[in-house]
Structure formats: structure tokens, C-alpha cells
Amino acid sequence: IGINCSNWNSTGPTHKDDPGCTAVDPSQKWCYCKDAAAVGAIGQDGMLQFHRRSHTDGPGLCTSVVAQTPAGTIFHGRNLDWNLPPPMRALVADVEYTRANQTIAKGTGAVGFVGVFNGMVQGGFSASINARGKGGKLLTNVLQALLHKSTTPCMHLRSVLTSQTAFEPAVAALSSGEQVDENYFIVAGVGPGEGAVIARDRKAAADTWRLNSSEPNGWFRLQTNYDHWNPVPTSDDRRTPGVTNMEAMGQDHIAEGPLLQILEKFPTFNPHTDYTGVFHPADGSYTSMVWSD
């Protein structure tokens, strides 16, 4: 129920009372483990091991980024890091939704799975899902579904893809409606300023973080699995390297190829990465790939 990036780090940060840890788990029941010192933080040399995937439980990592070119068009990229075993990765598929024999939207999900991880309406918008707050607890999610007739974020996204055709209506729709668990919706449009990260509570949006040309890095928004106004745990700081890589690339070089290169850099790309996608709603480009061993 409400699965989105739910394989979480069982070791936690390497430092007790880490600000990023206490921000998401004040009691430190799951975010800190005192024996994690033996694990340490993975450095750049971890790239040497990327030819072999780890099949241990991963930290539920996901990264999505929206970026605006100098011309005002928007590119959208995402990594999905569910640490899926090979048989399940083989079921990941792109799907098209049609109405009156016309394709109205496309998305990526899995065979037998009703919702989608990300999707796009050509000429309108694209959206992806990242986990927030560990994706919720199973019992709470089930009760939310039964008592409040709530939907999963993946099913909610599918509904919006098949009912909305433009960025602002999509942002409004993704910001409302009861869900079984929390998540982030990362949304890209087709024109200047049309990029946003929606931090969802179960009932509504808790925050909407939009592109802002008046800020130094306001031409992009990079979202992992922690609220942008809080620090991140030291054991899972994919935010800082991701932002650094975006800054190094620069707004003048935003395009599908350079954005793919960002998504393939450690630690944005990591041993748990199953899927990478880059989308350009303005022209309908939808690049989708599953990583294998």
C-alpha cells in the first residue's frame, strides 16, 4: 500500500544527533544506529564498485530534478532507487494512455501495477514521485485507505496524467486529494518558471517549492527524500553533490544528454538505482531506461 522508495537505510547516519537525522526522526529510532560507524559514508571511490549491484536493503533513495534552459523550456530527470531484484526490474515498462484512439499521456510503471512512478503529457507537463518520511507505515497507510478512501501517490499521479493537460492544473491536482502516505511530486511544464517540488502530506500539500529566477540557483530544483528546508543526514547526503554537479554543468548546458550525465554521477546514481528517465514535455521527448547488473 502506497509503496514509493520504501527500502530504507538500516544503518543510519554515522554520527549521533546528526541534524539531518533529528529533523526527520527526532527520537532517532530508525535514522541512527550506533554500530553504523563500521559502515561509514561511501566516497567517490565507491564508483569502482558500480559494475556490481548491491542486493542488500537500500536506503530508499530517489532523486528528481527540474531545470530551466536560458530559452525558458523545462527538462525533467529522475532516478528511481528501489533496489528491485532482477525479476522485478524485468517487469518495469513504459505505458501509454489513449482516448478516442489518441495518446493522451505516457508513463512508467510495472506490469500488473496500476499506478506509475513518473509520466508525461506531451505539450503539457511531466511528473515524478519521490518518497517522503519513509513512505509511511503499512498499518497507518492501510487505515488511511480504508477509513478515508485515499489513493496511493502512484495511482494519484496516473489519475492526474489522464485528467490534466497543463502545468498549473496538474500542480493543483497533485497538491490536493487524500493519499495513503506522504511523498514528493516533482513537476515540470513547458514554459518559463514551470517547475515545482510539491511536498505532500496525506491530506494536502505541505509545501510547494517552485523555480525562481531571482535566486542564484533558482533555475533548477533538485529533490531527494528530505524536505528542502531541513538538513539531510550525513549518511545520505545526495543533495549536496547533486546541487554541486548541477552548478558545474550550468544553465547554459541544460539538455537531455548533460542531464543524463548528472543522473549517472555518484551518489545520485548508486548501487540501488533501478531506473533513470529524462523528460522534455515541450517536445514530447521521453527517455526511459532500466539498469541491469
Task: Indicate the pairing of strand 205-210 with strand 62-68.
Answer: unpaired
Q: Which residues pair with 106 in a beta bridge?
A: 96, 120
Strand, helix or coil at 235? helix
Rounded Cα gap, residues 47 and 79, in angstroms:
16
Q: One of 5, 31, 62, 154 is an active-site residue; which one?
A: 62
What is the largest distance, in Å, between two alpha-carbon atoms of the chain?
58
Q: Identify whether the C-beta of residue 187 lies closer than 8 Å to the C-beta of residue 196.
A: yes
Beta bridge partners of 126: 120, 188
Confirm whether 31 is a catalytic residue. Answer: no
Place of cell 514528493: 184
Q: What amino acid occupies position 32?
A: Y
**CA pair distance 258, 240, nearest whole angstrom:** 18
Q: Rounded to 10 degrees, what is the CA torsion of 160, 165, 167, 172?
A: -40
Q: Which residues pair with 200 in a beta bridge?
A: 183, 205
Burial classification of residue 186, based on how many CB atoms lie within 10 Å of its CB (0-12 exposed, 13-18 middle, 19 or more buried): buried
Residue 80's alpha-carbon distances to 36, 119, 138, 206, 271, in angstroms, are 25, 13, 21, 23, 11
Active-site residues, by number, are 62
